Amino acid sequence: MTTIRQRIRAAAVGVILTASTLTACSGGGGSSTNGTIEYWLWDSAQQPGYQKCADAFHQENPDLKIHISQYGWDTYWSKLTAGFIADTAPDVFTDHLSKFAQFVDLKVLRPLDDLAPTADIQDSDYQEGLAELWKGQDGKRYGAPKDWDTIAIFYDKAVLKAAGVDPSELQNLSWNPTDGGSFEKLVAHLTVDVNGKRGDEPGFDKEHVKMHGLSAEGSGGGGWGQTQWSAFAGSAGWQATDKNPWGTKFNLDQPSLQDTLSWYFGLVNKGYMPSYAEIGGTNSVGTDKQIQSGTAAMGLSGSWMISTFTKLTDAKGKKLDIGLAPTPIGPSGKRASMFNGLADSVTTLSKQPENAAKWVKFLSGEQCQNIIGQSGVVFPARPAGTDLAINYNKTERKLDVTPFTQQVKDKTTFLFPVTTNAADITALMAPRLDAVYIGSSPVSSLTKLNNQLDKLFEVAS
């Protein structure tokens, strides 16, 4: 029988583990048996809220303490994978849908149904569809919902005013892959070259752009275009797999996607969106930094970025006035947004699984979810917590977050693709989408990629 170490080494979970990585990981974190539960997360903005949850949990359980470790996204997953190999993985960690299926396959997550504190988690306690995402093909639950997210447009109100654009115009934008619709017209108008010419004016110099109308966050090959092209593809009626979750056939060869991407990446050639090189390639500068620096007027991003955008300042330290707008209506006649969510999982390496499950139950419970909602950083998985986050943004930030929440109410969201072989899929998709963004490969090359993805499952079967 193979061990956890052998399975992880064989799959590598999409990362290359060097000796130095393992050395760095073996010295910290990890499960314990002394009543201290090790908990990992990657979002520094959420850490203060979860520390409040940890303090409240300790008050209810004086014999248990929570030690929180926070790492940046890339470091987080490298350390976690290395931790599974070196027996230093935490008791509980924040899980992501792009990772969890493979962790289930590798048997490094404990089914929450088998642990007494979490055996009675009810799907109906959370936003519709969230809890079901964290069940494996065996029907068992491997994550307790903590929050959810959608996509919307962030923009600098001052930039719109200077362009003579009323923010209300952004509420009913539409797009199509032929001419881009009213959305592309706005993007063109907001684009300004070094001579002050706008993208919709004669004499516009697309080779020397000072401010692009639309930001870019890379090619989207590492996350199904979540903050790049997913909202456009979704509103064109496209879905990534034959079924979700646990699809085994892919749809990257469909015209609805390839036409969408031809239009989307074509914005670069028009000067309306920054090139691959301009945003720093794979280590892309995010939409928030592009808007802050004045190199982009607006851009798509996720609800988890609200607190970041509302803290942006200009070069003189003056706070930017940020607005929100919904994703544009597509050829389907509807707007769309990817619907994603995070959860907390218990590792099989935890030496105190029942205590770990008790913490997970608290994290997904009403008290902690309300604490997180009151911080306004994310939308908690429970509806009551979501309402608190909405109210915080309205009263404290003077920000209407309806562009994020309305799509959930209108049921115009679609789920983040959950499949096995996730690491292999990312390894194949990322460079191919990068090549399309750069312009070194045509969009039609995704048909070959689609065949490769399908074969992953043919081999597995």
The letter for the amino acid at 263 is W
CA 184 – CA 330 distance, rounded (Å) = 12
Q: Which is it for strands 322-325 and 65-70: parallel, antiparallel or unpaired?
A: unpaired
Is 325:136 a contact under the CB 8 Å cutoff?
no
What Å distances lie between residue 252 and 71, 307, 430, CA to CA?
A: 33, 34, 13
| Residue 343, SS3 per DSSP | strand
DSSP single-letter state for residue 305: G
Cis omega before residue 245 (within 30°)? yes
CA 366 – CA 378 distance, rounded (Å) = 15
Is 200:164 a contact under the CB 8 Å cutoff?
no
pLDDT in tens, 47-64: 999 999 999 999 999 999
CA 361 – CA 226 distance, rounded (Å) = 29
Residue by residue, pLDDT tens for the chain (461 residues) are: 444 444 444 444 444 333 233 323 333 456 656 789 999 999 999 999 999 999 999 999 999 999 999 999 989 999 999 999 999 999 999 999 989 988 998 999 999 999 999 999 999 999 998 999 999 999 999 999 999 999 999 999 999 999 999 999 999 999 999 999 999 999 999 999 999 999 999 999 999 999 999 999 999 999 999 999 999 999 999 999 999 989 999 999 999 999 999 999 999 999 999 999 999 877 779 999 999 999 999 999 999 999 999 999 999 999 999 999 999 999 999 999 999 999 999 999 999 999 999 999 999 999 999 999 999 999 999 999 999 999 999 999 999 999 999 999 999 999 999 999 988 999 999 999 999 999 999 999 999 999 999 999 986 55
3-state secondary structure 435-449: HHHHCCCCHHHHHHH
Q: Which two tokens stand for residue 50?
A: 């979860």
CA 18 – CA 410 distance, rounded (Å) = 47
In sequence order, the β-bridge partners of residue 209 are: 193
Report the Cα–Cα distance between both ends of the chain, in Å, rounded.
20
Judged on CB neighbours under 10 Å (0-12, 13-18, 19+), 138 is exposed
Total residues found in the chain within this entry: 461
**Residue the block writes with tokens 């500068």:** 285
The letter for the amino acid at 240 is A
The structural domains of the chain, ordered by start, are: 4-145+344-396 (3.40.190.10), 151-338+418-460 (3.40.190.10)
Q: Which two tokens stand for residue 231?
A: 């909202």
Is 216:273 a contact under the CB 8 Å cutoff?
yes
Is 156:321 a contact under the CB 8 Å cutoff?
yes
What Å distances lie between residue 175 and 73, 236, 268, CA to CA?
A: 32, 9, 16
Angle between helices 366-375 and 383-395 (to 10 degrees): 20
Which segments of 270-382 does DSSP mark as H helices, in order?
287-293, 306-309, 353-363, 366-375
State the Cα angle at 352 between 346 and 354, rounded to 5°: 70
